[in-house]
Each structure stands twice: as C-alpha cells, then as structure tokens.
Amino acid sequence: MIVILHPNTDKQSKEYKDVMSILEKLPNISLQHHVVQGEEQKLSEIYLLGDTHKIDQAEIESLDCVERVVRISEEYRILGRHHDEKRTSGFTYNDVHFSQHSFHVLAGLCAVDTPEHVEMMMQALQKHGQVCTRMGAYKPRTNPYSFQGHGEQCLPYVFELAGKYGIKVISMEVTHESHIDEISKALQETGNPTGVMLQIGTRNTQNFELLKVVGRQTQYPVLFKRGYGVSLNESLNAAEYLASEGNSNVVFCLRGMKSEGGAPHRNMVDFGQVPVIKRLTRMPVCVDPSHSVGSREKSPDGILDVAHAAAQGLVAGANLVLVDFHPEPATALVDGPQALLMDELSRFLDDMAKCHEFYQSRKSLWA
C-alpha cells in the first residue's frame, strides 16, 4: 500500500507528524519513504510493507496531508504502475528530466580509449545541442584477455571534457561497487563538472548484491539493462531490487535478447516490449539499438539497421536511445563494428527526433 501525501508537505508540520505516528503504530507494517521529483512538484510517498490487507484505506485517506492511498500488487511494488495513472513519476538529475514522456539520445563511446576521441565526441554532441552521452570506463568482457576498459584512470579527463562541452549526464557502466566510489572521487576532484547515470549491464541484471549496493545510494540514477537471457518479468523484478533499497530513479533499457532467431543481428531486437514496460511500470524506457543489431549494415533504403531498430523503439514510445558512436571505429577497442560514424550523428539525431514526433502524433490519434 502506498500513502501519497499532498505535494510539498512540510515534514515539520503537526499534520505530517500525526500521520506518521498513526502509520508507525500499525501492527506488522514497516514504512519506507520515497520522494518523487516530478516536473512540477515534489511528492512524498510512504510505502506500507507487510500485512496491509487489514488496513482501512478510507481511514488513512481521511487523514490531513494524505492525498490518496493506492493498493499495490505484489510485483514491482515501487516501480510498478498499479493501474494508477495519476501518480507522478520520473526524476530530474543534474537539471535533466527523465520520465515516460521525455526524449533523450545518449550517443557516445562504448569504451573510452583516448582523450582525443572523448573530446571529438563531446564536441560533436554539443554542436548538436545534446546534453547526454554514454562513456564506458569499466567494460565487462566475454574474454578475460580482451581490453577491460581504462577504469578509474580515464575518469578525470572524461568528466572534465564533459564539463567543457556542457554534457550533464554520462551513462557509465559499473561492474563492482568500488566503481561508484571511484566515480564519486573523480567527480569531486574535478569539481563536479558533469553527472553520471550508473549503468547496470545485461550481464549483471541479476547480480543482486551489486543491485543492492547501487540501490542503497541515491546520488546517481541508474540505467538498468534487461537481462539478455531471462524473462521480462525477471528483469523487472531485478530492477525493483534497486528501488527496494531506496533508489527509484531507474531507467529500464532494452538491448536485445541472445537468440539465434535474431541473426544476422547480434541479438534479437525486443523493442516491441517498450509499451509493455510503460504499462507495467513507471520507469522511462530506453532502447539500445547498437548492442541489439551489432553491425553497421544498411538496408537497400540506405538506412542503417541500427537506425531502423532505434526507430522501432521510438515509434512505440521509448524515451531514450543509447547508441555507440566512434571517430574511428576501425581502431575502437570494444564494439567497433557497431559504432556509427561521426558524420552520421546529425542524420541519426534528426531521424530519432522525427520518430519521437511521429510517436506523439500516433498518441493523439488514439487519445
């Protein structure tokens, strides 16, 4: 059960204290507090966990400063939608808003290699009015002898260059809890020139201990990838681990499923599930066409498969696109074959914006 308080309820007020003292006395119930930062207002939600079926919903709803009470199903308690269309969702991080209505492209390097390439990428993004990117410093690799990412050592120049070119959010995968401290240390030492969205890769979707640690911190939002070999339900439950520990600022990212059925693409494109995730949960949904398609192939219409796949996600309502670019794909240390070229950035961004607009017009058709 979720108790939603009136917007901007003062925690020092008598009404708030009265509600809390009543809720705290409920038998076999534990309380969890969440703050939801919508585009216009801040909402406090109190989750009642445990034996809630005996609670009188109307009685709680009649209390001062309680706006509404929502009964929730067992699954995805915090991130779930629970048939309540009115609940505020989304979050603002470093002045960038993410929700099921927003639209952002996170174009960047799969793996950071040189400061020159990072700078070329950031400069091009700024030129096209972008404030988000992706930069891999810690790379989970199938082969232990493959390049593992420059790690902590590259963070200072990545963050400084992001600041220089007005990039506000960098999606960056972490594969171990120590990486969060390394990111915090580097951000602090460079004077917080940018922000980081912690990426959980598909190989770590069900690394529950990592999810608990990432969920316990609320400084950084999380871009959570769907597991490539588990059901959607299992992946959504895994995302809920983050929220259950306290961090509900989560973007859910589809990246294709491991299956021979997707060949010749690297993975089976699963972007038809974008609307399903938006229906079941309140998370903004991202699609990653680069890791789904895995190549720079074009169809006879001249459009890259990566752009076609991303378009499928966007016309179905995806809110973000995570996509690999590289100034010299032939020398890229990770995933060069799927990286788009710098001179394709402009066209790619235009194409994505058109697809998002097309989704908006589809929406009004059905309204």
Nearer to ligand PEP, 48 or 334 (CB): 334
End-to-end CA distance of the chain: 30
Residue 202 found at the interface with ligand PEP (CB under 6 A): yes
**Residues 208 to 237 in contact with ligand PEP, rule: CB under 6 A:** 225
Query: What whole-number distance in Å separates Cα of residue 263 and Cα of residue 61?
Result: 53
Burial of 31 (0-12, 13-18, 19+ CB in 10 A): middle
* Alpha carbon distances (Å) from 24 to 54, 60, 277, 349: 15, 12, 33, 50
Q: How do beta strands 96-98 and 285-287 pair?
A: unpaired
The contact pattern for ligand PEP, residues 84-113, with x = CB under 6 A and - = no contact, is --------------------------x---
Which entry of Mn ion, ligand PEP, none binds 225, CB below 5 to 8 A by partner kind?
ligand PEP
Region of 151 please: left (phi>0), alpha (psi -120 to 50) or beta: left
- The C-alpha torsion from 247 through 252 and 253 to 254, rounded to 10°, is 140
Nearest CA-CA partner of 108 in 313, 296, 342, 271: 342
Please tell me the count of residues contacting ligand PEP according to CB under 6 A.
10
DSSP classification of residue 99:
S
According to DSSP, the β-strands at 2-5 and 42-50 are antiparallel
Q: Give the residue nearest to ligand PEP (CB).
A: 201
- Measured from the CB of residue 99, what is the shortest distance to ligand PEP in angstroms? 22
Q: Which residue has the tokens 């966990």?
A: 49
- Of 335 and 351, the one with the shorter C-beta distance to Mn ion is 335
Residues 6+ apart with CB under 8 A from 336: 326, 329, 330
Stretch that binds ligand PEP, among 33-41, 82-90, 99-107, 201-209 (CB under 6 A): 201-209
Question: Interface residues for ligand PEP in 250-269 (CB under 6 A)?
Answer: 255
- For the bound state, the minimum distance from the C-beta of residue 230 to ligand PEP, rounded and expressed in Å, comes to 13
Binding status of residue 332 toward Mn ion by CB under 5 A: no
Residue 179, contacted partner among ligand PEP, Mn ion, none, CB below 5-8 A by kind: none
Q: Which residues contact 1 (CB under 8 A, 6 or more apart)?
A: 47, 48, 52, 55, 57, 60, 69, 70, 71, 72
Q: Does 291 bind ligand PEP (CB under 6 A)?
A: yes
201 binds, among Mn ion, ligand PEP, none (CB under 5 to 8 A by kind): ligand PEP
Using rule CB under 5 A, residue 110 touches Mn ion: yes
User: 243 vs 304, which CB is nearer to Mn ion?
Assistant: 304
- 356 in contact with ligand PEP (CB under 6 A): no
Which residues within the stretch 155-194 sit at the binding site for ligand PEP (CB under 6 A)? 173
Residue 149, contacted partner among ligand PEP, Mn ion, none, CB below 5-8 A by kind: none
Using CB under 6 A as the criterion, which residues of the chain lie in contact with ligand PEP when the complex forms?
Answer: 110, 136, 173, 201-203, 225, 255, 288, 291
